[in-house]
Amino acid sequence: MEELKRVALNAQETEEDRVTSLSLRPEKLTDFVGQKELIANIRIAIQAAHQRAEPLEHMLFSGPPGLGKTSLAHIIAREMHAKITVTSGPAIERAGDFIGILTNLEKGDILFIDEVHRLSKTVEEFLYPAMESFKIDFIVDKGPYARTINFTLKPFTLIGATTRSGLLASPLRDRFGIFYHLDFYEPSDLAEIIIRSSQKLNVDIDQEAALEVARRSRGTPRVANRLLKRVRDYAQVKTGGARVRLPVVEAAMQQLHIDADGLDRLDRKILAVIAQQYGGGPVGIEALAATLNEEPDTIVDVVEPYLLKTGFLRRTSRGREITDKARKLL
């Protein structure tokens, strides 16, 4: 069976990516490329908070994986001169796990929760008073000896990141004072990111080659940095470490089976399955995932957003359909 797992383009961050990307992530707002309107609004919010000597309002970042939500949280913490505590929705299983995190926050500290939509209902309800009035109520003992203890927290800023904002409960979403959506990047912005990353990785790449990598990076900085490293490896092995120029990029992309539209084997397999086995669609996500032997969340979170953005896929009330553009590609 053809291997469907991504090698070069899986936008889910691996441990290797976390270690390597630490040096590639921007450290200041002035270093952040793209999302210009969003950055301008964040800069105003930070400046206003500094002038009032208050913590920032709670922020929610939404968008597909790899667009810079985690990077922005770290940048905001640095710009606010605050300590940041990082966790994720699935990591907080019980409300009791959350008490230690919240009570250890100092005034102005930032709590970053990745995949905040995956918080359990119990933890979510526990979080409401903490966000709204910086208080938590927890019960000690059981039965007739049970009593509620009220604990006042120091004012902090919660920054949530989600790839599925539609799954957030309305009461939680409404408690975020600032809401931003990150969209896919333009190739010119990605080329600038690639040039900056190449300097840190000691890769000699020119503008034309960087733009070609950018065009195949699915509008995602994380993918752009990953492809840059794969092109670097190809150049090192196949050309003896020569400079990365357009022919080297094209040869490396062919080796990775990534076409000029940035689609890889999994993308093309999804489009082909919908076209051949489901007559072009519509097909439900569960049926599609079962046919591909993939997790539905992988298709919805990682693959589908780019196919929708580039017009290869259409999502309807009855399921997924391929477009005329996809038929021409196939």
Residue with tokens 């995932």: 289
Catalytic residue among 6, 17, 25, 70: 70
Strand partners, 87: 113
Name the E strands within the chain.
59-62, 84-88, 110-114, 135-140, 147-152, 157-162, 178-181, 313-316, 319-322
Our measurement of the distance from residue 148's CA atom to the centroid of its chain's CA atoms, rounded to an integer in Å, reads 38
| CA–CA gap between residue 51 and residue 94 (Å, rounded) | 37
175 is catalytic: no
Residue 130: exposed, middle, or buried by beta-carbon count in 10 A (0-12, 13-18, 19+)?
Answer: buried
Tell me how long the chain is.
330
Q: List the catalytic residue out of 157, 162, 163, 323.
A: 163
Catalytic option among 6, 69, 216, 265: 69
Structure token pair of residue 146 = 């049970």
Active-site annotation holds for 78: no
Is 70 noted as a catalytic residue in this protein? yes
Closest CA to 273 of 306, 255, 299, 253: 299
Q: Is 12 helix (H, G, I), strand (E, B) or coil?
A: coil
316 has catalytic annotation: no
Q: Does residue 222 have an active-site annotation?
A: yes
C-alpha distances (whole Å) from 274 to each of 19, 162, 305, 309 are 37, 28, 16, 18
Check: CB of residue 141 under 8 Å from CB of residue 39: no
Annotated active-site residue in 218, 222, 230, 232: 222
Q: Choose, from 114, 189, 264, 267, the residue flagged as catalytic.
A: 114
SS3 107: coil
For the chain, the distance separating the N- and C-terminal CA atoms, rounded to the nearest angstrom, is 20
Q: So which residues are the catalytic ones?
A: 69-70, 114, 163, 222
